[in-house]
Structure 1
Amino acid sequence: MATAPSRGWWPATGRRRHSHAERPARPLGGLIWLHVPGQASLSAMRELARRLIEEDGVAVLMTGEGGGARAKGVIFDQAPEDGAQTVRDFLDHWRPDAVVFSEGEIRPALLHECAERQLMLIMADASDPWFLRGHESWIPGAMRRSVSALSQVYAIDQAAMRAWRRAGIAPARVVSSGRMEESSLALPCLEAEREYLAAAMMTRPVWFGARVPRSEEGAVLAAQQYAMQLAHRLLLIVMPEDPARAAPLARELADQGWITASRSDEEEPETETAIYIVNDAAELGLWYRLAPVSYLGGGLSGTGLLTSPLEPAALGSAILHGPRPGGFGPQIGRLGAARAARAVASIRDLSEALGDLLAPDRTARLAQAAWGVVSDGAEVTEAVLADLRRALAAATARGRV
């Protein structure tokens, strides 16, 4: 465990406190507290919570951003204000066996009190360290004293690792690991259906337009028309953003002279089919598995991507996307840094990128790099789980209070 800073170095201030009666009851047995200060780590922390509950049978308390969308089996509470007595009341009630913070948020009073109780303190998905807003300290050495309470820091990259070392944490306690694995990456599909369609499409190049808004349909069709000049048997599988758009889109494409088939009409792509229209989002995993290249809708002319880019990455589909990531900025940033996705800013960009990725070796390089991003995240999650399991075993051995 980390050594606690000397007692009394941080002010015993704090605003409104929750009484024990206002909080949910603490369940019996082991309990891990996960604190999520922002959206960047929310999905990964949910995945960590899921695995702790399902694999280790322990209770998980989540504070911060996690309360906005309830995850199965997770207990939610407000994070305590960063004052000494408020923090003590919170920890007295929940009595966690270990704590995982994320993103680099520093709460000095909280870190100090956790270290006093010899709790394992992990900082995961750590960018540069930063004080909780409103608690920036003028006290000399406040950052160094705060980070000294942490047992282990998993930094998102080398630059973040260096920032933590400059902040004062012992070099042995910080590693440049990358981010943790995010939840629900390997979307399901019916394997018999995949095998049947794969056999039917075996000799054809295929790409997939995932949740394409109406405003981007023209760009996708233009890319299909351009790429068919390079590979005349190219098949486009397209899923409109709105499932109800599938039938009107099929009629419009037929009027324009396209040869189409519609899954909602129980049709299958024939030899001459150029566009296969699908509309069930529950089958995204099927189409990502079948299409070596996927264009993710929403980022070219919309407000942002409509699906997580890590989902096709986990299933081996090379990714094309527009310049607006929307709520998936951190994920696109990770893929972009690894050269594991290709951004397109216009209809021409999309057409040329698709034409370029008709070469199987180029598609494979992009997909392999994307898979590397996903699999590296899984290794980080395993490392954090191993730390937490040691803390749980130690709590059991000494007799949990």
Structure 2
Amino acid sequence: MNRAARCLYTLIWWLATPLVLGYLWRRGRRQPEYRRDWGERFGRYEAPAQSRPTLWLHAVSVGETRAAAPLVEALLQRHPGHRLLLTQMTPTGRATARQLFGERVELAYLPYDRPDAVARFLDRFRPELGVLLETELWPNLIHACAERGMPLHLVNARLSERSLAGYRRVRGLIAPALARLGAVAAQSADDAERLRSLLDPGTSGPVFSVIGNLKYDFAADPALVARGQTWRAAAGTRPVWLIASSREGEEALLLDALARRPIGGLLVLVPRHPQRFDVVAALLTARGLSWRRRSEWNGADPLEQDVLLGDSLGELAAYLAMADLTVMGGSLLDFGCHNLIEPCAVGVPVLIGPSTFNFAEVVRDALAAGAARQADDADGLLALVDQLLADPTGRAAMAQAGRELVQRNRGALARALAVIEPGLRHDGPARPAHSS
């Protein structure tokens, strides 16, 4: 049964290849980067081979790449004799990695999960050890690594109840793959139990541990924080509120609510995906708001418009440092919320909508600590914005609660390293990991 499921899965990948190419071409209309590097999607790479041992990390897109930043920095520091290969599936993830790490890591797309493409990837890079971040369970890839005797771990692993229901429908495919992982280092005990429940009864499977959430080991770039503070001065005495990582449909809801409930001050609106910058710009124009693009502003001239459109990558920490409070995108509609740990770490009060399944435990802790507040809809969120902008004491208390929440939950980095490093070839004295 399990072997038949994998054969069917592989056949579907082969039959779907023309559809996948069509998808890349269509996505390329709005984001031309999707029309580049197609060879890498199928395991064909131009980068020259290297003799150094390779440590491979996979972070599917922007959120996972940012979450991986403390781990990447620690591994670069502690294992200078290794080449660090970082793979993604999206151009925005790749661009984020380049901004965060420059030329210190090698970047490539992880190929689609066809056996031939996976084999070419492993033949080309010959990783000594692999790390999949969060919820990346690719059956052919996992089996290929196991058959080559290459340790492959799932780190910072999470699995929501919604995702668990989906995986259960293909359990005959997922269970044998999960069993061949070396280790699963989960964010929480609930995540670990949900993943363990996918294994076949009686299967020994990987070594499970609970390490916490790597996102809590995030440290904002001081240069970006200073940049945001400079921007804040350009706004003058007006309050500044941020809508961070907004998703499709959310901007329209919030802007319509803003028309019903005007809020003074400067709105900084930062869409999650760069291909939507122009779409959001059109929404602002259609609603008669005065606005300015970050890409057309030098960061010093006075900001007199209603809205600053954050059409830049890699500057989220600066936008956060600029803001008196933030509304976290992905939470108003059914996207499951985006990372609210970053604003807490920077000391910015957080407002969230009803959809939080991707960060359920973090949201629960942030609400309990008083670092975040929640509303059911766009009007409710703007009512909270209005209330908090008029309450500097309340904002300061939320900001402090956020910083303390992050500080209490640090430590996942050291625990992740304890899972990964035993499988690495020794390349000199390893310095201690820092999560400041």
**SS class of match (1:33):** strand
**SS class of match (2:156):** strand
Q: What are structure 1's unaligned runs of at least 5 residues?
A: 1-8, 226-234, 252-261, 270-274
When residues 236 and 263 of structure 1 are mapped into structure 2, their CA distance, relative to the original with a 3 A threshold, is: farther
TM-score, normalised by the number of residues in structure 1: 0.60
**SS class of match (1:190):** helix
- Asked if residue 380 in structure 1 is aligned to residue 412 in structure 2, the reply is yes
For residues 38 and 264 of structure 1, what CA distance do their matches in structure 2 show?
A: 28
Q: Which one has the bigger helix percentage?
A: 2
For residues 268 and 22 of structure 1, what CA distance do their matches in structure 2 show?
A: 47
For residues 130 and 203 of structure 2, what CA distance do their matches in structure 1 show?
A: 17
Aligned twin of 1:181: 215
When residues 79 and 238 of structure 1 are mapped into structure 2, their CA distance, relative to the original with a 3 A threshold, is: closer
For residues 21 and 240 of structure 1, what CA distance do their matches in structure 2 show?
A: 38
Pairing 1:86-105 to 2, within 5 Å after superposition: 90-105=121-136
Query: What does the per-residue CA deviation read over 1:336-385, in whole Å, with 9 as the maximum and x for residues that have no partner?
Result: 23225333344652354246545566545544554466567863244334
Pairing 1:43-82 to 2, within 5 Å after superposition: 43-45=66-68, 48-49=71-72, 52=75, 56-57=79-80, 58-63=82-87, 65-66=89-90, 69-70=93-94, 71-72=97-98, 73-81=106-114
When residues 182 and 99 of structure 1 are mapped into structure 2, their CA distance, relative to the original with a 3 A threshold, is: farther
Deviation at 1:161, TM superposition (A): 1.7
Is this contact kept in 1: 2:142–2:180, CA < 8 A?
A: yes
Aligned twin of 1:294: 326
TM-score, normalised by the number of residues in structure 2: 0.57
Aligned twin of 1:162: 193
Aligned residues: 350
Query: What does the per-residue CA deviation read over 1:111-141, in whole Å, with 9 as the maximum and x for residues that have no partner?
Result: 4554465533321232359798997538xxx
When residues 396 and 89 of structure 1 are mapped into structure 2, their CA distance, relative to the original with a 3 A threshold, is: farther
- Asked if residue 33 in structure 1 is aligned to residue 56 in structure 2, the reply is yes
When residues 75 and 104 of structure 1 are mapped into structure 2, their CA distance, relative to the original with a 3 A threshold, is: closer
Deviation at 1:49, TM superposition (A): 4.8
When residues 380 and 186 of structure 1 are mapped into structure 2, their CA distance, relative to the original with a 3 A threshold, is: same
Give the letter for the 1:239 counterpart: V
Aligned twin of 1:236: 265
For residues 46 and 192 of structure 1, what CA distance do their matches in structure 2 show?
A: 20
Query: How many percent identity over aligned positions?
Result: 20
For residues 303 and 61 of structure 2, what CA distance do their matches in structure 1 show?
A: 44
For residues 104 and 285 of structure 1, what CA distance do their matches in structure 2 show?
A: 25
Query: What does the per-residue CA deviation read over 1:54-78, in whole Å, with 9 as the maximum and x for residues that have no partner?
Result: 7745434455625664343313341
Aligned twin of 1:6: none
Pairing 1:1-400 to 2, within 5 Å after superposition: 22-24=44-46, 25-36=48-59, 41=64, 43-45=66-68, 48-49=71-72, 52=75, 56-57=79-80, 58-63=82-87, 65-66=89-90, 69-70=93-94, 71-72=97-98, 73-81=106-114, 90-106=121-137, 110-111=141-142, 114-115=145-146, 117-128=148-159, 136-137=171-172, 143=175, 146-166=177-197, 167=199, 173-181=207-215, 186=220, 188-190=224-226, 194=230, 197=233, 206-210=239-243, 213=251, 216-217=254-255, 219-220=257-258, 236-239=265-268, 249=289, 266-267=301-302, 278=308, 285=317, 288-289=320-321, 291-296=323-328, 309-323=340-354, 330-331=358-359, 333=360, 335-338=362-365, 339=367, 340-346=371-377, 348-354=379-385, 357=388, 362-364=394-396, 366-368=398-400, 370-371=402-403, 379-394=411-426
Deviation at 1:153, TM superposition (A): 1.4
Deviation at 1:155, TM superposition (A): 1.5
* RMSD between superposed Cα atoms in Å: 5.5
